[in-house]
A = this chain, B = another copy of it.
């Protein structure tokens, strides 16, 4: 076995590619999502109707059982989260803000808590940021707030006394647009050559997990794709 990782959002478009990629590399892979992931070594399904505390307790309990041999994780990769639009005058402003918080921020806080307990010293935490949230996002207010919170959490986890194990690295990935089936369906006339391929992201995670080309802890790693080539821009 090459190592152990957990993917939060293992059933999603990116998450399922990441699970498959690390399985092929002979990693033990755990998944956390709203539904079970058959490919994973352990699969934790959280109930989206439960509050954050209850979801967190369920995740912590099942991870404790899965790692009862005292083994620790090489990485905790959170790629959960969705998208919703809406400005301040939208009827759905409140509900979309709450949903975005639940998807991106609850999963990230639970990731932080689990990483504090189950990550190896020198291990990796990846959180789901978003390039647009580096500035204002007037047409997608709830989404921007949740992603800005994830960015700041990444910086917090990188700081002294964050509670993560010694020498752990916390990073956020900030895609512009990922090349997922859902995005292709809803934006079928867009220029796909500027969208980031999922396997590129999975290979980037592989390098970071192996402690190759790992950016400094706290970095917000923008994924900038142009003419089908993706470059990492690190802030």
Contact = CB atoms under 8 A, between A and B. Distances in A.
Interface of A: 51-53, 56, 87-90, 93-95, 97-98, 101, 105, 109-110, 112-113, 115-117, 133, 135-139, 141-142, 144-164, 218
Contacts of A218: 136
A162 B138 contact: yes
A87 B98 CA distance: 23
Contacts of A94: 52-53, 56, 109-110, 113
Nearest to A148: B152
Given A53-B95, A93-B112, A116-B89, A145 B153 contact: yes
7 contacts: A56-B94, A93-B113, A101-B105, A135-B155, A138-B158, A141-B162, A144-B153
Contacts of A52: 94, 97-98
Contacts of A157: 88, 136, 138, 141
A109 B138 contact: no
A152 B144 contact: yes
